Structure 1
Amino acid sequence: MAPRRPGWAAAAAAALTVPTAAAVGGTAEADTGWRLVHEEDFSRFAPSGDTGWFPDKDGAGGPYDVDGYDNDGGFFHAVGGPAFGGHLDGMDLYRRSFSFGEDGWLTAELARRDGVEEPSFTRDELPGAGPAGLFDSPEHGGAVVLRSTEALPAEYRVEVTLRTVDFGGQRGGEWDYDGKVNGYRPSDCKTNFPWAASGDFTRPACDWADVTTDSNGFYFLSVMDYERPAPHNNVFIHTHRKVVMDGYNRYRYTGDGLRYCDARTGELQPYEWGSGNGVNMLFMTDERRYADQPGTEYVMHSECGTEVGGGIVSQADLVPEAMPERSYRFAVERRADRYVLEVSGEFRHIGERTLRYEQPFDDGENPVWHYNRTPGEYSGEHNATWTYPTPDGGAYTDADVWPAGSAYPDYFLLGQPHMNFYEGSAHVDDVRLYVPRGG
């Protein structure tokens, strides 16, 4: 493991005062009272503490062991039975980690299955745009994320600039481009095996759900609720998000489970209105999104109003064809009593603007999932026990999902976190951490 780094408080002592930009297009103004603590512009890249690739299946007591939704978790053994155990025994899983940036404040976490081309995070030069960090996840059985090395402070603003993204969606009006299908290299056997929320686990790997014709995506910026955020299966990731801005690019989707907000008119539009490169700005709540499988419910604010649950609302649509000449800035803030999600740039249909939405930690109806960094911030009023049916007629029980005395420090995460979905590449720049001025 890399050596322990100095805390945020030490870095903040030398912080610079840097205001954020004002919002555009009628949304709330961004707060200008921030001091810059850390900044990574990738002008140089000197990783430290590189572990190299090592075997790890999230085993009990290991550095990536979290809960029953781990890659070897009790949930999958319960719903998948002996078949899941056999699948897991028949594959090797590997991880790699290294830190970089001032005082090692950023950490890259990588994971892959055996036989999968290695994902990577490296420094790259973009013509006309300069140095940037490159996420490369060439196969959906590998994943790579960037996270804060330490837990974030009580109040903060995190920013990142997206320079390019190639994780599916349309290009020039086409879902199939550059020999790929929704950003995936074509294959007869590219599925979500061996981690599913339900279904027949006895099927051969190639008979599971085809990811290429389902979805691709990327996490632009999120806040997670557990120590050492790293790639896991998609079920695990969906139970550990506090807030998230991501892309969920559904191949040729025509249903009503995905919609866009037209910020010009304030009216919801069908998925076909966009290009499948939507930005989903989600605050997670204490309700279950699904009756029979894991996943927390969404609160979605947009210029079209507020939706709780139901079809996902994308607040804007990116234009990847225009990048890197055009870029997008994503930001997450945690203030005294709320989270704020923000994205700025020139979007398809709605033009140049900043979209900025906030959600109180607990508004009495939709508390932000696991918002409390410390036990003293929460009294246990949203605790519950969740159960999920198993094929043998029993149930998997997740007891005390948010008890009194719990604490969930904030860590930010961006990248491709799923070890059974998504593949592609993206460039990022200007990763910044701010704390309140005078704090």
Structure 2
Amino acid sequence: MRRRWILGTLSMVLLAAFAPVGSADEGTPAERDARWQLAYAEDFSADPDVDGQPWVRDPMGPDSPWAVDAFDDDGRAFKEMSDPAFSKQLKSLDVYRKQVSFGDSDWLTAEVAAVDKNKDGRPDSEPGLSTVSLPDGTRGGLISQPSWDAGVLVRPSKPLPAEYRVEMTLRGIDFGGKRDGSFEYDGKFNGYTPEGCKTSYPWTFEGALPDTERCDYPDVTNFNGFYYLTILDHANPAPHGNPGIHYRRKIIMDGYYTATENNYATCNPKTGEIYPTPESNANGVNAIFAMGDKFRNNNISNEYYFKTACGEFDGTKPFDPGGNYGGILTSAELQPELLPDASYTFAVERDKSGYTIEMSGPFRYVGETTLRFRHEFVEDGRPIWHYNQRPEEYDGRFNQQLTHTGPTGTHTTRDTWPEGSAYPDTFIIGDPHLNFYEGSAVVGDIRLYVPTT
């Protein structure tokens, strides 16, 4: 029997679905628009000239241009948790990259990466970013990722300002999920082509699996996804092994299309009804505020806080009184078959005291609408992870020491968020995983707004 939970009365739900969620002073759309002036815009009318650029082998190590922290592709954390297996397995492959700036004043950068599994000096696939023509006469940026062991994303070339609104328009998406009620379509399963074994080798949240070959690692084809617009806490995002990105996200707006039975839930923004995600079309949008004081997945991932038209939920607790649903609560479902004739717009705003997530488009059940969800930097004692861009914005109160345990050892993060720290905001659009996700998407435009002077 299908289990469902409805929040409050229908009138309460409709108010939540069609009005901004958060502080009451956000204003009408026109008033919000008046607060922002356009700083940069990219409409892909010119080719970003990514696909023709040469590949460069990532040298790895702390001097790599793509190095971030202990959870890098060759990071100290994975070595301490699982050596000698991790170092041995990592030596079995190379990672090749492209880093190409484009747009007005080169304000955007494309980061493309692919694995070379046989170490023959060239990547095993050709992911990329190019322009395509759309039926309405406009152009878009085609993110093409034909193999799961690669990644493509777009980021700002410089960190974002203290206050901003960044938005992107989606005109096409084929990174898995269902079509006509099935995960099997166009000769693929959940967006993955059938050739070869497709596993998470060699990166897991516990490091490497000892005495395990590539094809014996967990299969990834049940899990596909795409980052519509996500805010990270460092200046040089690029595709990496799957675990690392989970420790670097502040604000998350993504799709996670899973073909497995699970207790995840999806919100119907028209009725306020929460229903099992396996009953959805598996093309949802997750709007998540990363919690800065709670962790999951071997302490390499923050817990989630959800604000939806169905209510607010702490990801560490069930979403319903019966405890039927937990883990991920999807805010709304896309209808990919309506693209590219229709479009979706995703936006994140940062002001002096918090972040706002916004999504607009023809969502399933509710039709064309805009959903806005706001969270203060610290709300009811709950912080957004690494919200402070400057040291003076934060006093060290949420600092912790975390232990990460693997098959052969442990790694300790001694200071997760110390006093005196600072974390720039950057955004990513695309797929930041080197060992998950496969497909393509079309981005219509990317815009950055700053406060009106």
TM-score (norm 1): 0.90
Could you report, residue by residue, the CA deviation over 1:88-142 in whole angstroms, capped at 9, with x for unpaired residues?
1111111111111110001000111115212101111123352100100110111
Q: Does residue 286 in structure 1 map to residue 292 in structure 2?
A: yes
Q: Does residue 424 in structure 1 map to residue 439 in structure 2?
A: yes
Distance 2:201 2:424 in 1: 31
Distance 1:67 1:46 in 2: 29
Distance 1:432 1:381 in 2: 34
SS in 1 for 2:379: coil
Deviates more, 1:121-130 or 1:421-430: 121-130
Could you report, residue by residue, the CA deviation over 1:378-422 in whole angstroms, capped at 9, with x for unpaired residues?
111111110022323x42101101111111011111101100000
* Shift of residue 430, structure 1, vs aligned partner: 2.0
Q: 2:426 aligns with which of 411, 418, 435?
A: 411
Distance 1:384 1:158 in 2: 31
Distance 1:409 1:97 in 2: 20
Match of 2:243 in 1: 235
* Shift of residue 187, structure 1, vs aligned partner: 3.1
Distance 1:297 1:305 in 2: 17
Deviates more, 1:317-326 or 1:123-132: 123-132
Could you report, residue by residue, the CA deviation over 1:148-201 in whole angstroms, capped at 9, with x for unpaired residues?
111111100001000000000001111010000100001341000000113733
Structure 2 portions without partners, runs of 5+: 1-15, 22-27, 117-122, 316-325
Q: Does residue 329 in structure 1 map to residue 345 in structure 2?
A: yes
Match of 1:105 in 2: 107
Question: CA contact under 8 A between 2:17 and 2:269: conserved in structure 1?
Answer: no
What letter corresponds to residue 140 of structure 1 in structure 2? Answer: W
Deviates more, 1:111-120 or 1:403-412: 111-120
Q: 1:148 aligns with which of 150, 153, 156?
A: 156
Match of 1:76 in 2: 78
Deviates more, 1:267-276 or 1:423-432: 267-276
* Shift of residue 286, structure 1, vs aligned partner: 1.4
Q: Does residue 267 in structure 1 map to residue 273 in structure 2?
A: yes
* Shift of residue 51, structure 1, vs aligned partner: 6.3
Distance 1:331 1:429 in 2: 14
What letter corresponds to residue 62 of structure 1 in structure 2? Answer: S
Structure 1 portions without partners, runs of 5+: 1-22
Count residues in correspondence. Answer: 412
Distance 1:230 1:37 in 2: 24
Distance 1:49 1:402 in 2: 38
Match of 1:11 in 2: none
What letter corresponds to residue 173 of structure 1 in structure 2? Answer: G
* Shift of residue 350, structure 1, vs aligned partner: 1.9
SS in 2 for 1:341: strand
* Shift of residue 43, structure 1, vs aligned partner: 1.4
Cα distance change, pair 50–325 in 1 and its aligned pair in 2 (3 A): closer
Question: CA contact under 8 A between 2:299 and 2:402: conserved in structure 1?
Answer: no
Q: Does residue 52 in structure 1 map to residue 84 in structure 2?
A: no
Distance 1:182 1:141 in 2: 16
Distance 1:324 1:106 in 2: 23
Match of 1:186 in 2: 194
Distance 1:116 1:288 in 2: 38
What letter corresponds to residue 384 of structure 1 in structure 2? Answer: Q
What letter corresponds to residue 264 of structure 1 in structure 2? Answer: K
Match of 2:283 in 1: 277
* Shift of residue 273, structure 1, vs aligned partner: 3.2
Measured on the aligned residues, the alpha-carbon RMSD in Å equals 1.8
Q: Percent identity?
A: 44
* Shift of residue 291, structure 1, vs aligned partner: 6.1
Distance 2:407 2:223 in 1: 27
SS in 1 for 2:265: strand
Q: Does residue 165 in structure 1 map to residue 165 in structure 2?
A: no
Q: 1:38 aligns with which of 40, 50, 56?
A: 40
Deviates more, 1:45-54 or 1:281-290: 45-54
Q: Does residue 27 in structure 1 map to residue 42 in structure 2?
A: no
Could you report, residue by residue, the CA deviation over 1:12-52 in whole angstroms, capped at 9, with x for unpaired residues?
xxxxxxxxxxx982235442211011111111235499863
SS in 2 for 1:76: helix
* Shift of residue 287, structure 1, vs aligned partner: 3.1
* 4+ residue segments displaced more than 3 Å: 46-51
* Shift of residue 293, structure 1, vs aligned partner: 4.3
Distance 2:160 2:331 in 1: 26
SS in 2 for 1:289: strand
What letter corresponds to residue 308 of structure 1 in structure 2? Answer: D
Question: CA contact under 8 A between 1:57 and 1:71: conserved in structure 2?
Answer: no
Deviates more, 1:266-275 or 1:151-160: 266-275
Question: CA contact under 8 A between 2:51 and 2:128: conserved in structure 1?
Answer: no
Cα distance change, pair 56–320 in 1 and its aligned pair in 2 (3 A): same
Distance 2:337 2:51 in 1: 36
